[in-house]
Structure 1
């Protein structure tokens, strides 16, 4: 049974990674997770913005970033401007404001395709875990043929279960993106 637990854990990791990736897709609503993958150099190491500043949602469509150390303001502003978020930082010397514009129909479709692609990558990761588990089952000489068959069926059941979870999460994200 240990193999099934390891397999399930690895599949859960693939779904968690998908969740993290889907959070970075902008849906036209301000959300602090939009900046999770934006890093800048802080005392010689790449640091995420949320570790050196407070990020608040203001009025639903605006993010306000207040650095704990004001000397990092320009670096944070530059990191956001050069990131792939598509957001334009506006600084007043104290805080940085990011207006999150409403998405165009074309951009919504593009983001929806991106979510689909992330879902496919997660499914591929899950299928790779299935392949690894099946290879381990085949190599296990202590298992009888019937036991090996049962284990492979259980691994397939897990794979189907996680594929459905992935499809559900991607479809929910697509609905969120397409909602005007």
Structure 2
């Protein structure tokens, strides 16, 4: 029983890490990545649809995104969605595709992005700690009926080691993203 609790906690911690990775991928860090378009949705036949489901998104060079819609009639909707997004990008439409030149980040914007990155990292750490608390609560419930106090302590120590490992992983991801953002 305690093994399944620990396994479940580890799976949830991995999901929290994956969620952080997705969130950080959509932050603009001065270079073009298709992940920038992940959160943007365009209206397509009356439904909001993610751009990456409407078009092929490539990076011909480090400062340019090229969006090639599969349905040419969706170009205007995609362009409008990009303009409305909070990324501050200006798309250029050539009739069959959309080019977006990613401008270099200002020092002020880099500072804002670092703050956003740290906030996302802190949220991920809180999520990992909440998972630890839930797992420890379940272990303590078992202590009352199925396992000894020593076993309970040993399982809680294992969960703490797992938590420390995932918090360190979050720190490593944050350091890499901050380095990417501050790199000129």
Sort the TM-score into its range (normalised by shorter chain). Answer: over 0.9
SS of the residue 1:22 aligns to: helix
**Within the alignment, does 1:83 sit opposite 2:113 as a pair?**
no
Candidates 160, 164, 174, aligned match of 1:160: 164
Query: What is the match of residue 146 of structure 2?
Result: 142
Candidates 174, 180, 183, aligned match of 1:179: 183
Q: Deviation of residue 58 (structure 1)?
A: 2.2
Structure 2 residue runs of 5 or longer lacking an equivalent are none
Candidates 10, 21, 24, aligned match of 1:19: 21
Q: Deviation of residue 44 (structure 1)?
A: 3.2
SS of the residue 1:29 aligns to: coil
Structure 1 residue runs of 5 or longer lacking an equivalent are none
Query: What is the match of residue 71 of structure 2?
Result: 69
Q: Deviation of residue 51 (structure 1)?
A: 1.0
TM-score normalised by L of structure 1:
0.97
After superposition, residues 21-170 of structure 1 pair within 5 angstroms as 21-140=23-142, 141-170=145-174
Q: How many residues align?
A: 180
Q: Quick one: distance in 2 between partners of 1:38 and 1:123? A: 26
